Amino acid sequence: EVQLVESGGGLVQAGGSLRLSCAASGFRFDDYAIGWFRQAPGKEREGVSCISSADGITDYADSVKGRFTISSDNAKNTVVLQMNSLKPEDTAVYYCAAGADPTSCRTADYYGMDYWGKGTLVTVSS
């Protein structure tokens, strides 16, 4: 059974940091693209960052470049999103997702994810 479990969300003041983790199981982690997405109240879901070991790529949305860093620990089947200099507009539910196409990180909004976690809430206060 494929599982993606996010953790690390919470409440933080603007300018602060949070570290989100996505623990994956049930599939060949090394072969998949892993993306982080977020959805704020009343807004559409957007891709935040993506990593693909098989394709050798990491990617970031313009809104988070220079502030967020994505990394993977293939031995632990975990992807981490380090979020620094957080802004109130970063407030959202953050989801991780896995795509069998390792080139998914090259597509617009990281299209083609096959599996999704349930999300973790990040709230940034001003």
CA 71/CA 66 separation, integer angstroms: 14
Closest CA to 7 of 26, 24, 20, 25: 20
Q: What is the pLDDT of residues 29-40, one digit of tens each?
A: 889 999 999 999
Query: What is the pLDDT at residue 74?
Result: 85
Indicate the pLDDT class of residue 4, thresholds 50, 70 and 90: very high
On average, the pLDDT of the chain sits at: 95
What DSSP designation does 32 have? S
Amino acid of residue 62: D
The three-class DSSP label of residue 21 is strand
At 20-29, the pLDDT tens digits run: 999 999 988 8
Torsion of CA 12, 85, 58, 75, to 10 degrees: -50
Read off the pLDDT of residues 84-123 as tens digits, 9 standing for 90 and up. Answer: 999 999 999 999 999 999 999 998 889 989 999 999 999 9
